[in-house]
Structure 1
Amino acid sequence: MTTTLRPTLEPLPTPVTPRLRRPTWRDPRLLVGCALVAGSVALGATVVSSARDTAPVYVAAHDLVPGDPVEASDLRVVDVNLGGEASRYLAPEGDGLTAGSVATSVVRSGELVPRTALGKESDVTVRAVAVPVSGTLSDRVRTGSTVDVWFVPKAASGTVVAGGADDAGAPRRLTQGAVVAQVDEPGSSLVVGGQTTVQVLVRPGDLPAVLAALAADGTVTVVPGGAK
């Protein structure tokens, strides 16, 4: 009798299911993640705090020109964030607006008021001169704008001479980059007759020529867009 040997089949190994471990405070990945979150929160808080860090400063309630007295009613208070530039502008806190202040330079309506734009009356060197304008005045000539003042002499016959640069009767510029302090239209209580009058701030060195031209036989006119 022959005996048949059958191979013994060994059981297959049971797969081991990996167990998920809870991260601990010692896990470097968790520590890095927490650091990133904390840094983002701190940065966001700094940005928001900086955006809210505003201070009250003065802005002009209307156009200010050299020589204008400046009182609290001529200014408005707004809150702005100027950072390190805040000390350059006039603010209601600290020394603020002093009595007897006048504008020493042009400040447009709604603009921040630089501290250097205010001073005493003795700091203003320009003088206001009334220039009658018989023709049509450009709409660019307004309070706070700059103009050139020209003189056009008349010939003995009463006609305007249009000569060359060396001609004594040629138009000549009297002052350049003068600031317009005020424009008085016909019908204003300050205007006599039907002419528009432009109050021009003239520098002392140009004042004699402008006054002489106003008294001479000819036409004094203003041209917009002059630069100092």
Structure 2
Amino acid sequence: MTELATPSAKRLQRPSWRDSRLLVGVLLVLLAATLGAKAVASADDRVPVWVASGNLVAGDRIDDSSFVRADVRLGDGMTGYLEADAPAPTGSFMLRDVRAGELVPVSAVGGADAVDVQRVTVRADALSTTGLARGSRVDVFVTPKASTTSDSARVETKKVLESAAVAAVLTSSGGFGSGSLTSVQIYVPAAKVQPLVEAVDAEAKVTLVPAVGALSGGGA
């Protein structure tokens, strides 16, 4: 009977640097390390900036609650924002409106000498203040109080302010309907403060009309 050939065991060989599988494995490890380093470097590209915590209005005095810090990655050419690697400029003033959640431009903050508005409180018909919130923009109309019945026919309503910023909506008084009034603080250009105050003191009727694109409801 013919005996079957017995296969001989092959000795395992140590991989050499010329082994293509070993080279591919090394390249994959190097690629993964490079991509990881790039991801970390990309994360480090983020810069700390100040973000408006609520609706900020031109004329507002900045305090500790005005801004929150956020780490963001700015695109090429996106500069001029207030960096948060320095303390917030508390005590400074807003020179223009910045909405809640927006980055704060450096140009939007300045000293008291750069502010040209003052807060004035007016009492307006509650119906005309419906939906107004901090940061809304309103046109202000004044109707002088008629001294006599005959004068009422000659009373003329005038627009005294255009796109004034609402600083705060305060309290309402009176009953429902036209007899109900709401106190509203608005920012008024310095040159127009006295005429408006005189009209209010003379018991003129003040009506606030939301400007086009005005913020309404729920403003912080």
Report the TM-score when normalising by structure 1: 0.64
Task: Quote the offset at 1:85 in angstroms.
Answer: 4.4
Q: Name the aligned partner's letter for residue 207 of structure 1.
A: V
Spell out, residue by residue over 1:83-125, the C-alpha distance to the aligned partner (whole angstroms, 9 max, x if none). Answer: 24453111111x5523422222222221111111111122211
| 2:190 equivalent in structure 1 | 204
Contact 1:131 1:221 in 2 (8 A): no
Decide which of 88, 101, 115 is 1:97's aligned counterpart: 88
2:53 aligned partner: 61
Matched, 1:222 2:208: yes
Amino acid at match of 2:118: R
Structure 1 residue 202, shift from structure 2 partner: 0.6
2:170 is the counterpart of 1:184: yes
Q: Secondary structure at the residue paired with 2:186?
A: strand
CA distance in 2 between partners of 1:151 and 1:158 (Å): 19
Q: What residue in structure 2 maps to residue 117 of structure 1?
A: 108
Query: How high is the sequence identity, in percent, across the aligned residues?
Result: 34
CA distance in 2, matches of 1:111, 1:55: 15
* Alignment partner, residue 152 of structure 1: 143
SS in structure 1 opposite 2:184? strand
Higher alpha-carbon Rg: 1
SS of residue paired to 1:57:
strand
CA distance in 2, matches of 1:127, 1:111: 24
Using the alignment, how far apart are the partners of 1:58 and 1:214 within structure 2?
Answer: 38
Of 62, 72, 76, 2:64 maps to 72
SS, match of residue 197 in structure 2: helix
Structure 1 unaligned residues grouped into runs of 5+: 1-41, 162-167, 188-193
Cα distance between partner residues in 2 of 1:216 and 1:68: 28
| Structure 2 counterparts to residues 21-32 of structure 1, below 5 A | none
Give the Å deviation of 1:160. Answer: 5.2
Task: Decide which of 118, 123, 127 is 1:127's aligned counterpart.
Answer: 118
Encode CA deviations 1:177-196: one digit per residue, 9 max, x unaligned. 11111110238xxxxxx732
Cα 1:213/1:120, change in 2 over 3 Å? same
Amino acid paired to 1:208: Q
Kindly tell me the number of residue pairs found equivalent between the two proteins: 177
More contact order relative to length (CA 8 Å, sep ≥ 6)? 2
Aligned-CA RMSD value: 3.3
| Cα 1:225–1:47 shift into 2, 3 Å | farther
Question: Secondary structure at 2:98's aligned position in 1?
Answer: coil
Q: Report the AA paired with residue 197 of structure 2.
A: L
SS of equivalent to 1:197: strand
